[in-house]
Structure formats: C-alpha cells, structure tokens
Amino acid sequence: LGKMATIVMKLNGAIYTTVMSLPYSPANKIRVSALLVLILAFSSSSSGENTYDDNTYEFLKREYSLSKPYQGKRPFLLAVCVCECVCVWPCYIRHWELQVQFKIQGEGKKNLNGDGLAIWLTKERLQNGQVFGNTNFFTGLGVFVDTYPNDDKQHERTFPFISAMVGNGSVAYDHDHDGRFTDLGGCTAHVRNVENDAFLLIRYMKNRLTVMTDIEGKQEWKDCLDIPGVRLPQGYYFGVSSATGDLSDNHDLISFKLYELTVERSPEEDQQEITLPSVDYRDEGRSIITTLFLFIVSVVVLVVVVVVIIFLYNHYKENRRKRFY
C-alpha cells in the first residue's frame, strides 16, 4: 500500500509543506531521507536574514569576522598601555554592516584613563601612530570611541564620545581637539567601566553611513549618526586599533562580525566606481589650517566693514554740519 509522507519546514520565517505519496519500500525510505538532507542543506546555505523593509538581506562573512570560541582563553586584548593594531585582508563588499562587541575597563577616575579605540576601513594597512594607535592622514573611514577629552576648553561634548571621519589622505585628524573640525558628527556613549559588553553597529549602504549603539545590553540599537552622500571605495582594509598613552585602560575586542548586505541597485549604481573617499557636502574635508584661515578672513572682512561704516557715518555728519554754516 502507498504511504503518505508529509514534510514541513520553516525557512526564513515562511512555512513550507510537501506531501508525497510513495509505495512503502526501503528504497523510497532512503529517498525521503535524502530529500530531507537536501532541504536542510538548502536551508542552512540560505542563511541570509531580511532585517530591513526594502528587500535588503544580510549575510555573515565569516572570513572577515572574529567571534567565540577564540583560539586563546580570553577576548582579544587590544591594548593595556601601548598602541596596538589589528588588520584583516582587503574587503570588496559594496554594501556592508559591521557589528563590534567590545569592553573598555580601567582603574583611572575622572578622565584619568586611556584614549579609546577606533574601527577602520582604510586604503593603507594599519600602522602605529597617534590617532587611536593608527597613523594620521589616513585614506578611508575611521569610527572613534573616544574615552578621553584632550580639549579641556570645549564643553559641548560629554565623553566617552563616538564620532566618525572620512579622510582622503590629505586631511589630518586633530588629536588635540578630539577631531571636532573634521568629524561627521557623533554621540555620547558611556561605554567605560560598565558591567555589560558594549555593541557598535556601522552600516554602509547606498552611499549612506549609519552608526548605532547598544550600550545598556538591551539588544536595542540607538541612533548615533546617519550621514548620506558618503562614498567609500572597495578593496580597503578593515581594522581595529586602540591607544592608551601614559594612562592605562583595557580594550577587549570580543567579537567583530561583518555582514554583506544585498540590496536592489539601479544600473547607474552598478556602474558607479569610487576611487577616493569623500562626503558630498564635505568632499575635501576641512583641515585645521583651512578653518583658521577662514576664521581670520572672516574677522578681517568684519573689521573692514565696520571701518567703512564708521567712515561713511563720519563723512555724513561732516557734510550735514557744513550745511548749517
């Protein structure tokens, strides 16, 4: 007699049911088992998750990721009291999302602590330098978790502070002013000496840079910055660096997961080739020298305008006085 075989599976949130009528035999039993193996293999290979509302899927790129279990016995310790860098091979993904899990701890109180850490996507491999352990005048993207305020005179930011900068190789990160003249924006994030791990999400999709945080461990992302018109070339290196200077902090990199985002693109977007990092409203960036020059020019112009107004006013008063004599 024939037997009814029903296969029910759940794939990406959808329920699929298959009903087969097969005569009972050991051979048919093997066929059903083989079919189940194929279905399970397909479901495991189709592990992309639709986490957006616009047919965007994300796929974990394990070759660019770091997560448990580690080869050692503890998370990757980036720095205790020196500058250290970690760099992976070049990435040719057009749209991506990076999720970083980390922990920053130290004994210093009242801003007596290390500088912080940075996540990079740069043309050059990371080299020891003064920008959170990496060299200055970088080409690419830097996202900074700054735990120490170097500029004592500024009061508009509360530290720790997360910011982002796009460099084209000719714009310097101003360490003394915490990069305020060149960053794209940011947010306050109390990531130091908290009980739970901190999470940072960096997404680059359709020339849009988004940074979000989960500091409280509630598995809820909070907006930090969202900048359109960001253009980043492919083939750059992902990396992580940290620096502590004369002060000491532990920077534990717990996981580093890169996801490839599949999005619908127009023919124009497919043909778009980006050769140099830029931002639409700040293509060349603004260096400290440029900012100082613009400030001086503005002051000079203002002084000239005031002098001209005073001169014209005095001339008017003199002419009016002469009319009465």
Q: Break the chain into its structural domains and give their ranges.
A: 2-46, 50-283
Pull the structure tokens for residue 78.
Answer: 């980036």
pLDDT, tens only, 269-313: 777 889 999 999 654 444 556 667 788 989 999 999 999 999 898
Handedness of CA 285, 290, 295, 301 (dihedral sign): negative
Q: For residues 45 and 64, what is the distance between their CA atoms, to the nearest angstrom?
A: 18
Q: For residues 50 and 13, what is the distance between their CA atoms, to the nearest angstrom?
A: 10
pLDDT of residue 63: 56
Pull the structure tokens for residue 145.
Answer: 């978790």
Confidence class for position 264, pLDDT limits 50, 70, 90: confident
Q: What values do phi and psi take at 2, rounded to 5?
A: -80, 150
Name the DSSP letter for residue 291: H
Name the DSSP letter for residue 248: -
pLDDT, tens only, 118-153: 999 999 988 889 899 899 999 999 999 999 888 877
Tell me which architecture the domain covering 50-283 has in CATH: Sandwich (2.60)
pTM over 0.85: no
Which of 206, 204, 241 shows the shortest CA–CA distance to 225? 204
255 has which bridge partners? 101
- Tokens 């740069």 correspond to 122
Q: What values do phi and psi take at 23, rounded to 5?
A: -65, 140
pLDDT of residue 266: 82
Instruction: State the average pLDDT over residues 225-238.
Output: 95
pLDDT of residue 80: 41
Q: For residues 170 and 164, what is the distance between their CA atoms, to the nearest angstrom?
A: 17
Q: For residues 171 and 184, what is the distance between their CA atoms, to the nearest angstrom?
A: 13
pLDDT, tens only, 43-77: 433 445 565 555 666 777 665 566 666 555 455 44
Mean pLDDT of the chain: 77
